[in-house]
Chain A
Amino acid sequence: MKRAGFDTIWLPVALLLPQLMIIAIFFYWPAGWALQSSFFLQDPFGFGSTFVGADNYTSLLGNDQYKRIAWFTVVFSILVTFFSLAIALLLAVKADKVIRGARSYRTLLMWVYAIAPPVAGFLGILFFDQSTGPMTKFFGLFGWEFKLGVDYNATATAMIIVAVWKQIPVNFIFFLSGLQSIPRSVREAAMIDNRSSTRRFWDVTFPLLAPTAFFLLIINITYALFDTFGIIDALMKGEPGNNPMTLVYKVYLDGFRGNDLGGSSAQSVVLMALVLILTVFQFRLVERRIHYT
């Protein structure tokens, strides 16, 4: 708040009202409702519901399929985060170094940000097409008969590759702006102190970039968990069957296709808890970030 704030009452209330109303109706009400219905068993034909306590949760934790999906989500998130960060960092370091064409490279490397995840997934279908896809042929060279949507590992690989591809631009933009905000004098001091550019990178640049990297880590995990829905949905071509999927997809599947409201709500609550843990973690990192600057 500003030190000389206005004292009127009705105006700020009127200003806040739209936001508060939208949040109340479309955030707090649904979130509370999810929490409540996670303790009920919904009749599939809509004839009321029964209180079942924590049954939805225990059956969730005892469900092998759910465990398998959770495990896939973890592996998927780790791989997507790692590869998209690593590739973006490499590109950002190079883009920060070159003088000629720096701007063109920046444009070329970031514009994919604007492509919607399901559209990216659709491009994936094109490239991983079972009979004509170039990526399928590429994997064929190594003797891997790549069957998108049929073979579990093949579909998972395609999902990871497309998800990484889609996420590189965001990471690239943040890394580049992080690199560009390192003071010139610090770089010059490092150049005087150390002639090896590789050592300079690991001794000076990378530690200064660490806050950005921490922050991106959270962003990427969130992305892998939630924003990849469209990619996954497109790549499994509407046939969940035996295909790999993330936890969010499972919520959607059970809630909207399986009509298992209680189970789906319990899953939502589990996801909320997961996000809360991530956020607490993030806030702690944000505090750390302040110390860096």
Chain B
Amino acid sequence: MADTTLDTPAVTRKPRRIRWETIGDHFVLILGSLLMILPPLLALTTASHDAVTIHREGIQLGLGDDLGKNFNAAMFEKGGFTQTVDGTLMLMNSFILGIGFAVGKIIISMMAAYAIVYFRLRFATLAFWVIFTTLLLPLEVRILPSYEAIQKLGLTNTYTGLIVPLIASATGTFFFRQFFMSVPEELAEAARIDGAGPWKFFIDILVPLSRTMIAAIFIIMFVFGWNQYLWPTLITTDESFFTLVRGIKQIVLTYTDSQIPEHGQALALAIVAMIPPVAIVIFFQNWFVKGLTESDK
């Protein structure tokens, strides 16, 4: 008796319906994915054609024969767009900006956040507000005076002038402050009883503890630094300091100027400008998402 009642549901189960709703969901998602992925992808296929084809016919769906040639020319030939630099140098400058900015920002903001959170300082609140006011005004708003300042300091066309002013904001400090606040109080107390002074606690406990956070913030800051455009445009006029993104302007001019139809090379360089930040975001997706959603809260 019990057996039959147990079996009934299986017997009378409705035949598997086609889940129209699920199919609809997937349809929307595939459409969205195509919207996001097609433009860069078509840029890549187009970059595999010779300049004349691109100039005449525009975007190419299929792969052509000139991919290697275009990338080669873009990376290693001087004077494609600029007279004195090749893509390799710009790539290197991009890495210097991305990594220099991310590392500098992490070090400086971690130290400041540690000082604010873990020390009994009379002026801690003041320091907090002095630092956090910078969150209010992005660099774009104060671009002109910042440029003047750099000029007065003679730091135009230097890596210092390129990187350091970008660090002058509190995003990283704010992020680490939030994280340090969430670290259990007892950890610092246990360390004190274990005889660790403030510096030792920072190096032995807090920094290793923040590894994931550091990774997450590094990714975000690297992408942010790499993608800087306005600031490098102003501060670097010497082509040997051009980053790839800064060079986009030259790429655009080349592309739109029909006198020098180096379209394939221009596209190849634009793609090179995309690859490192895109790769780091895709490969370290979880850290990146964590960093992004937790830092902006």
User: Is there a contact between chains A and B in the complex with CB atoms less than 8 Å apart?
Assistant: yes
For residues 104 through 139 of chain A, which have their beta carbon under 8 Å from a beta carbon of chain B?
Answer: 105-119, 121-123, 125-127, 129, 131-134
Do A111 and B282 touch across chains, with their CB atoms under 8 A apart?
yes
Contact of B40 among A87, A123, A177, A248 (CB under 8 A): A123
Q: Which residues of B contact A131 (CB under 8 A)?
A: 58
For residues 187 through 232 of chain B, which have their beta carbon under 8 Å from a beta carbon of chain A?
Answer: 188-189, 192, 197-199, 201, 223, 226-230
Determine chain B's interface SS by DSSP, over half rule.
Answer: helix
Do B226 and A22 touch across chains, with their CB atoms under 8 A apart?
no
Contact of A22 among B108, B197, B223 (CB under 8 A): B108
B260 sits at the interface (CB 8 A): no
Contact of B46 among A22, A126, A237 (CB under 8 A): A126
Q: Cα distance A8–B199 when bound, in Å?
A: 10
Q: Which residues of B contact A134 (CB under 8 A)?
A: 58-59
Do A4 and B223 touch across chains, with their CB atoms under 8 A apart?
no
Do A265 and B144 touch across chains, with their CB atoms under 8 A apart?
yes
Q: How far is the CB of A120 from chain B (nearest CB, A)?
A: 8
- Among B6-14, B78-86, B114-122, the one that faces the other chain is B114-122
B39 sits at the interface (CB 8 A): yes
Do B120 and A5 touch across chains, with their CB atoms under 8 A apart?
yes
Do B59 and A132 touch across chains, with their CB atoms under 8 A apart?
yes
Q: How far is the CB of B167 from chain A (nearest CB, A)?
A: 6
Q: Which residues of B contact A4 (CB under 8 A)?
A: 185, 188-189, 192
- Among A23-31, A46-54, A68-76, the one that faces the other chain is A23-31
Q: Cα distance A91–B137 when bound, in Å?
A: 31
Contact with A along B112-154 (1 / 0, CB 8 A): 1011111111001001001100111110111111111110010
A192 sits at the interface (CB 8 A): no
Do A268 and B252 touch across chains, with their CB atoms under 8 A apart?
no
Do A1 and B124 touch across chains, with their CB atoms under 8 A apart?
yes
B103 sits at the interface (CB 8 A): no
Asked, given contacts A27-B134, A113-B281, whether A238 binds B198 with beta carbons under 8 Å apart, the answer is no
Do A116 and B248 touch across chains, with their CB atoms under 8 A apart?
yes
Contact with A along B150-168 (1 / 0, CB 8 A): 1001000000000011011
Q: How far is the CB of A276 from chain B (nearest CB, A)?
A: 6
Contact with B along A1-35 (1 / 0, CB 8 A): 11111111101110110111011011101110110
Q: Cα distance A111–B280 when bound, in Å?
A: 10
Closest residue of chain A to B121 (Cβ to Cβ) is: A12
Q: Which residues of A contact B189 (CB under 8 A)?
A: 4
Do A256 and B141 touch across chains, with their CB atoms under 8 A apart?
no
Determine chain A's interface SS by DSSP, over half rule.
Answer: helix
A170 sits at the interface (CB 8 A): yes
Q: Cα distance A174–B228 when bound, in Å?
A: 22
Q: Which residues of B contact A237 (CB under 8 A)?
A: 252-253, 256
Asked, given contacts A37-B145, A119-B248, A233-B249, whether A114 binds B278 with beta carbons under 8 Å apart, the answer is yes
Q: Cα distance A121–B248 when bound, in Å?
A: 9
A60 sits at the interface (CB 8 A): no
Asked, given contacts A108-B37, A132-B57, whether A87 binds B32 with beta carbons under 8 Å apart, the answer is yes
Do B142 and A272 touch across chains, with their CB atoms under 8 A apart?
yes
Contact with A along B268-297 (1 / 0, CB 8 A): 001001100110111001000100110011
List 23 A–B pairs whose Cβ atoms lie within 8 Å, in order of A's numbering. Answer: A1-B116, A6-B120, A8-B197, A12-B115, A13-B115, A23-B130, A27-B134, A30-B149, A33-B149, A91-B32, A110-B289, A115-B278, A116-B245, A116-B277, A119-B270, A123-B39, A123-B43, A125-B256, A132-B56, A165-B36, A230-B227, A252-B230, A268-B143
Binding site for B on A (CB under 8 A): 1-9, 11-13, 15-16, 18-20, 22-23, 25-27, 29-31, 33-34, 37, 87, 90-91, 94-95, 97-98, 100-101, 105-119, 121-123, 125-127, 129, 131-134, 165, 168-170, 173-174, 177, 197, 215, 219, 222, 226-227, 229-230, 233-234, 237-238, 248, 251-252, 255-256, 261, 264-265, 268, 271-272, 275-276, 279
Binding site for A on B (CB under 8 A): 21-22, 25-26, 28-29, 32-33, 35-37, 39-40, 42-43, 46, 56-59, 108-109, 111-112, 114-121, 124, 127, 130-131, 134-138, 140-150, 153, 164-165, 167-170, 173, 185, 188-189, 192, 197-199, 201, 223, 226-230, 234, 245, 248-249, 251-253, 255-256, 267, 270, 273-274, 277-278, 280-282, 285, 289, 292-293, 296-297
What 10 A-B pairs come out closest when comparing CB atoms? A132-B58, A30-B145, A116-B227, A12-B115, A114-B277, A26-B168, A15-B115, A108-B33, A19-B112, A5-B120
